[in-house]
Amino acid sequence: MEHTQYFDVELAQNLVDHIAVELGQNVNITNHKGLIIASFNKNRIGMIHEVAEQKLKAGEYREFAVTEEEARQYRGVRSGVNVPVLYDDICYGFIGVTGDPVIAAPYARLAAKLVKAILCSIAHKERLSEAMRDNQRMRALLLNQMIRIQEEERKRISRELHDETSQSLTAVLLGLRALATSLGDETQKKRVLEMRDIVSEALSSVHYMAVRLRPILLDELGIRAAIAKYIETYQKRYNIKVSFISKNIQEGERFFPEIEISVYRIVQEALSNIVKHAEAKEIHVELTCESELLQLVIQDDGKGFDPDILEEYQVANNSLGIAGMQERTELLGGTFEITSAWKEGTRIVVEIPVKTNSRKEGNICGT
Ligand SMILES: Nc1ncnc2c1ncn2[C@@H]1O[C@H](COP(=O)(O)OP(=O)(O)O)[C@@H](O)[C@H]1O
Ligand SMILES: [Mg+2]
| Burial (0-12, 13-18, 19+ Cβ within 10 Å), 229 | middle
Q: Which atom of ligand 1 is least distant from the CA of 323?
A: 17
6 lines ligand 1 (CB under 6 A): no
User: Quick check: CB of 81 below 6 Å from ligand 1?
Assistant: no
CA dist 176 → 165, 169, 189, 202, 207 (Å): 16, 10, 10, 14, 19
Please check whether residue 268 is in contact with residue 324, taking contact to mean a CB–CB distance below 8 angstroms: no
Residue 323 CB contacts under 8 Å (≥ 6 apart), including other chains? 314
How would DSSP label each residue in 241-287?
Answer: EEEEEEES--TTEE--HHHHHHHHHHHHHHHHHIIIII--SEEEEEE
What is the reported pLDDT for 102? 87
Q: Which atom of ligand 1 is nearest to the CA of 348?
A: 1
CB atoms near residue 261 (< 10 Å): 24
- CB of 339 shorter than 6 A to ligand 1: no
pLDDT score of 360: 55
The answer to whether the CB of 300 is under 6 A from ligand 1 is yes
Measured from the CB, is residue 240 less than 6 Å from ligand 1?
no
How remote is the CA of residue 273 from the centroid of ligand 2, in Å? 5
Contact 314, 323 (CB under 8 A): yes
Q: Report the pLDDT value the prediction gives residue 361, as an integer from 0 to 100.
A: 53
3-class DSSP assignment, residue 209: helix
- 312 C-alpha vs ligand 2 centroid, how far in Å? 15
- Expressed in angstroms and rounded, the spacing between residue 271 Cα and the centre of ligand 2 is 9
- Angstrom distance (rounded) from CA 103 to CA 229: 85
> Is the shortest distance between the CB of 353 and ligand 1 below 6 Å?
no
What structural domains does the chain harbor?
A: 2-134 (3.30.450.40), 218-367 (3.30.565.10)
pTM exceeding 0.85:
no
Q: Is the shortest distance between the CB of 274 and ligand 1 below 6 Å? A: yes
Helix (H) / strand (E) containing 143: helix 101-160
Cβ neighbours, 10 Å, residue 119: 20
CB count, 10 Å around CB of 165? 17
Each residue's pLDDT, cut to its tens digit, for the chain (367 residues) gives 343 456 788 888 988 998 888 888 899 999 999 999 999 999 999 999 999 999 999 999 999 999 888 889 998 899 999 999 988 888 989 999 998 888 889 989 988 998 888 888 888 888 999 999 999 888 888 888 888 898 889 989 988 998 899 999 999 999 999 999 999 899 999 999 999 999 999 999 998 888 888 888 888 889 999 999 999 989 998 989 999 999 999 888 899 988 999 999 999 999 999 999 999 999 999 999 998 999 999 999 999 999 888 888 888 887 779 988 998 999 899 999 999 998 899 999 999 999 765 665 544 433 3
Distance 269 CA to ligand 1 centre (A): 10
Residue 334: DSSP 8-state = -
Q: Which ligand is nearest to the CA of 275?
A: 1
Closest atom, ligand 1, to C-alpha of 274: 1
Query: By alpha-carbon position, which residue is closest to atom 26 of ligand 1?
Result: 277
pLDDT reported for residue 142: 87
pLDDT at position 311: 83
* Residue among 265, 273, 344 to mutate when testing ligand 1 (max atoms within 8 A of CB): 273
Q: Is the CB of 324 under 6 A from ligand 1?
A: no
